[in-house]
Amino acid sequence: MGQTFLVLSAMMLLSLVVLQANGLILSKYSETYDMQATHEAVSLAEDRLDQATRKSFDEKALTKKIYNASEFTSVANLGPDPYESGIPQFDDLDDYDNTTETFSTPTVDNFTIVYTVDYVTVADPDAVSAVPTFFKRVKVSITNPSMSHAVVSSRVVVYRRYQ
């Protein structure tokens, strides 16, 4: 009786150890997928920022030189113009504000890319300005079901009024 009890206890202990080890292995797998998706998200973020920052600084600056920041699109009107139905039609940077794009790579599905565009202050590019300035920050936030955290990348674009 005593021996049976000892054997049962040993088996239970071993089962617990095996369960624990398998749990660790499983979590390692999800970390692997997280890492893969995160790597791809970084590449996508850089690519999207490259594309967005190539666009004109502002809708108003498409046709004339702006010397006073108050002439730029107001903060409330940042976002796509009424005639623009998607990113390929965007002609200036602030069109990207509050735009969401879904994208799948050949290896990872369902990336969600959210763009945010803000005017930032001259003194501190991290501080959002309530009024137009000559500095705009475009932020790209990328999420995926496999990722534990969003990949957020941003770039500040300067309007060169003296060129």
Does residue 29 bind other proteins (CB under 8 A)? yes
Distance CA 148, CA 155 (A): 23
Q: SS3 of 111, please?
A: strand
Nearer to other proteins, 22 or 98 (CB): 22
Contact 148, 129 (CB under 8 A): no
Does residue 39 bind other proteins (CB under 8 A)? yes
Nearer to other proteins, 82 or 106 (CB): 106
Residues in 47-106 that interact with other proteins by CB under 8 A: 47, 50-51, 54, 88, 105-106
Instruction: Please select the residue that binds other proteins; options are 9, 30, 32, 85, rule is CB under 8 A.
Output: 32
Contact 32, 147 (CB under 8 A): no
Does residue 107 bind other proteins (CB under 8 A)? yes
Q: In what order do the strands lie in the sheet with 100-103?
A: 100-103, 111-119, 135-143, 151-158
CB of 76 to other proteins, least distance (A): 27
